[in-house]
Structure 1
């Protein structure tokens, strides 16, 4: 049984995590509202889960490091400066950062990496994602997670291969590109498909999220797994033993 702290606990995801903590038999010890200061209370728990905002990440990491407790970060829309801060924090405490805490999505990431490695560069890769109308970042953190898996398998950087701005007369598809298409609308929790298009055949690997409970359950499982680990950078693949 672990005691959890949740940053951003009043948001929709934070509330789902609180419910998942109770469902898993753990204790929801403390919650910090979006933009609130976690420093005074963060030391009351065994692990902290952060689903707040990119703007708050550095402060939240500093608080976790000061308290010496592990942190799982599920906040999306991160930039390079945030990844630098995550790397710095991981030298002091266990840090698990992921664009998606769903166990199914992280297994999908593993399958995408395997497929990209086996099929080779003569198969084109396109990633299609759809989310609810309120989502503010695009492509989604999950789509980027899948793209990074494909790029790693090919030995390239996603930033060099990524193509997400097609419009008008774009010309032929760039060789080696990893394409992204983004859809927004309704109340869709999350739909992701990775299409491998070869000559006269296609392979599609996909995942459908019916509600955010799956992400909350994965976050709780990942947070509990993180307790007692040495300082370092971890992923959901480590939680799954992949």
Structure 2
């Protein structure tokens, strides 16, 4: 491991890509070693600093993952499922830790990442903030303590541009609740109620997704019984919390043996 690991940002023109560049640039524990974008993107071949509206920084945006990852220590990836799955074996072959914040993955996508992790290092989380991962741990604990007299509802809100629902964080929270109850989320989950749905089935875990404006991320886990209600809540007011968590994961991943890790492992929860 080098003293200051060199990190590549995938999807560098996006909201999280730009924030990652800022957070890495402000850190004295890592340096920005490369920037990736999809083939045909107008930033490819251009100086990243200039594309971000500042001075040239010598980092040229690439559309060649193998070339961009050569000699690097980690790649941080908040893109799309297909792009993340395609990047995983490239990162493994380059000896790069692959830090995955991409959401909306299918079971097949996750299986492909797990296969790559048999020979590489992947840190994957639906949300990389410290607060959210504490919320996940608390959700499991509360669900374990309460019986099915308490209905569980996961309520999430995000900006109008988010393309997947429920959010990756909402699914993390749902999984935590299901684990606490000792049930399968696939069997307990209820999504997208509409019309005459009938009464709520006992023991289900509901999901409600809100989309609008520029909401960065709000997540509530409500435990509702007759006469009382418990709500656990996390609100993100600055996207940098996710970037800082991803950077922490990239630093933590250095020197790890192959495998797939989550933020609970990174944070020692």
Calculate the TM-score normalised by the size of structure 1: 0.97
Q: CA RMSD for the aligned pairs? A: 1.1
Distance 1:185 1:172 in 2: 28
Query: Is structure 2 residue 252 aligned with structure 1 residue 222?
Result: no
1:201 to 228, 240, 243: 228
* Residue equivalent to 2:69: 42
Look up the SS of the partner of 1:44 in the other structure: coil
Number of matched pairs: 242
* Residue equivalent to 1:31: 35
Contact 1:7–1:33 under 8 Å retained in 2: yes
Cα deviation, residue 37, structure 1: 3.2
Higher RCO (C-alpha 8 Å, min separation 6): 1
Distance 2:15 2:210 in 1: 21
C-alpha distance 79-37 of structure 1, shift in aligned 2 (>3 A): farther
Query: Is structure 2 residue 189 aligned with structure 1 residue 162?
Result: yes
* Residue equivalent to 1:15: 18
* Residue equivalent to 2:157: 130
Cα deviation, residue 62, structure 1: 1.2
Contact 1:130–1:188 under 8 Å retained in 2: yes
1:115 to 142, 163, 187: 142
Q: What do residues 49-93 of structure 1 show as CA deviations (whole Å, max 9, x unaligned)?
A: 111211112220010111122111111111111101111011001
Distance 1:34 1:104 in 2: 32
Flag structure 2 segments of 5+ consecutive residues without an equivalent: 40-62
Contact 2:102–2:126 under 8 Å retained in 1: yes
Query: Is structure 2 residue 76 aligned with structure 1 residue 69?
Result: no
Contact 2:73–2:95 under 8 Å retained in 1: no
Contact 2:121–2:260 under 8 Å retained in 1: yes
Cα deviation, residue 43, structure 1: 2.1
**Higher Rg:** 2
* Residue equivalent to 2:268: 241
Contact 1:9–1:34 under 8 Å retained in 2: no
Distance 1:2 1:68 in 2: 13
Calculate the TM-score normalised by the size of structure 2: 0.87
Query: Is structure 2 residue 2 aligned with structure 1 residue 2?
Result: no
4+ residue segments displaced more than 6 Å = none
Distance 2:38 2:135 in 1: 30
Q: What do residues 166-195 of structure 1 show as CA deviations (whole Å, max 9, x unaligned)?
A: 111111101111001111111000010000
Distance 1:123 1:43 in 2: 52
